[in-house]
């Protein structure tokens, strides 16, 4: 009779260990999924960082183009001033009309270019913000995984086998059983 009770207790302990093993395997799978999520987030951060670099390069090119246009405008204006000095009074009206036209065109081009630069800077800012958010989320996930892993390891380390309660009739652990989460 005593051996039968001992065997039943051992069988209960074996079942509890099996349940704990299954729980641990489930937690390991969840941890792996979390790691994959972090890797996906890190890949997205890298992609956004590269996109941000491309947008920054575009903005620099637009700024360079604006500088070239400004230099061209300055050169054109100097040449125009020299020509005006050589013209007689009869050409004064024509020169004035050409200068106004050139200023309007250059102002329009400059305004369009500056608007394009501002759009590119806004877009770059959005990509940078998204990259930083993704980076911060990746850090938070890593920290959460680390805390959860530590908590699980502490929980398993603190629960001696002698304190494990046998399952109840419904297959659930009894109150106060070690390994509850």
Per residue in 15-44, pLDDT (tens digit) is 989 999 899 999 999 999 999 999 999 999
**Could you give the angle at which helices 92-158 and 2-86 cross, rounded to 10 degrees?**
170
**What whole-number percentage of the chain has pLDDT above 90?**
36
Closest listed residue to residue 172, CA positions, set 4, 35, 15, 32: 15
**Rounded average pLDDT over 95-115:** 88
- Which residue carries 């020169």 as its tokens? 95
The DSSP 8-state label assigned to residue 173 in this structure reads B
Cβ atoms of 176 and 166 closer than 8 Å: no
Position 168 scores a pLDDT of: 52
Measured CA to CA, the distance from residue 72 to residue 36 in angstroms comes to 54
Cβ atoms of 62 and 116 closer than 8 Å: yes
Q: Please state which of the ranges 18-22, 85-89, 166-170 shows the lowest mean pLDDT.
A: 166-170
Would the pTM of this model clear 0.75, i.e. be above it?
Answer: no
């Amino acid at each position: 009779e005593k051996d039968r009770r001992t065997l039943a207790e051992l069988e209960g302990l074996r079942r509890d260990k099996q349940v704990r093993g299954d729980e641990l395997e489930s937690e390991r799978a969840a941890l792996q999924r979390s790691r994959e999520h972090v890797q996906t987030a890190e890949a997205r951060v890298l992609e956004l960082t590269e996109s941000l670099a491309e947008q920054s390069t575009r903005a620099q090119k637009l700024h360079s183009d604006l500088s070239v246009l400004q230099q061209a405008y300055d050169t054109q204006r100097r040449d125009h001033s020299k020509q005006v000095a050589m013209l007689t009074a009869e050409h004064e009206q024509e020169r004035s009309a050409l200068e106004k036209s050139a200023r309007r065109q250059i102002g329009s081009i400059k305004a369009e270019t500056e608007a394009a630069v501002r759009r590119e800077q806004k877009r770059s800012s959005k990509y940078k913000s998204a990259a930083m958010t993704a980076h911060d989320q990746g850090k938070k996930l890593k920290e959460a995984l680390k805390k959860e892993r530590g908590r699980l390891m502490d929980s398993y380390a603190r629960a001696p086998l002698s304190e494990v309660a046998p399952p109840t009739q419904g297959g659930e652990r009894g109150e106060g059983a070690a390994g509850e989460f």
